[in-house]
Structure 1
């Protein structure tokens, strides 16, 4: 499974404003930005990302995920604080 497929799956399932996926073998890093995360606990946000990918995870196609989720407002602050 490639990064673009994961991005499309997440975009379709969650209607995200932005989604970025990088990979090293079967280890994937996901950054997802969307209004859908507003008011959700971090656990619920993680579950929202896992849900559309569960078939790929159980098949072993995706071995490990690192997930960061943000609302659009949180993402703007994150980008400002992490500028080089």
Structure 2
């Protein structure tokens, strides 16, 4: 399964698991997935907890080797606005 097919498969998995305002899933260099998700559910949570929440619906695909490298940005709406404003 190539990364585009993986993205097609995991998008609804994450979307259904986490109420969100924005969800962007892509890949870099055909090597690792990039997931950016914006949700108020992340407010007050540490980065590790946020990432665990995103990994949760993907655990089976990580365990079977379908997914092996993921870069996650999990932010609140305010953090996302700042991120876009500062362009980082």
CA contact (8 A) 1:26 1:62 kept: no
Give the number of aligned pairs.
Answer: 83
Aligned to 1:4: 8
Q: What SS does the corresponding residue of 2:73 show, helix, strand or coil?
A: strand
Tell me which of 15, 33, 40 is aligned to 2:19: 15
* Structure 1 residue runs of 4 or more that deviate by more than 4 Å after TM superposition: none
Instruction: String of CA shifts for 1:18-43, please: whole Å, max 9, x gaps.
Output: 11111254521111110110011111
CA contact (8 A) 1:4 1:21 kept: no
Aligned to 1:76: 81
Unaligned runs of 5+ in 1: none
In 2: Cα distance, 1:72 partner to 1:5 partner: 25
CA contact (8 A) 1:26 1:61 kept: no
> How well do the aligned residues superpose, as a CA RMSD in angstroms?
1.6
CA drift at 1:6: 1.8
Tell me which of 62, 68, 73 is aligned to 2:67: 62
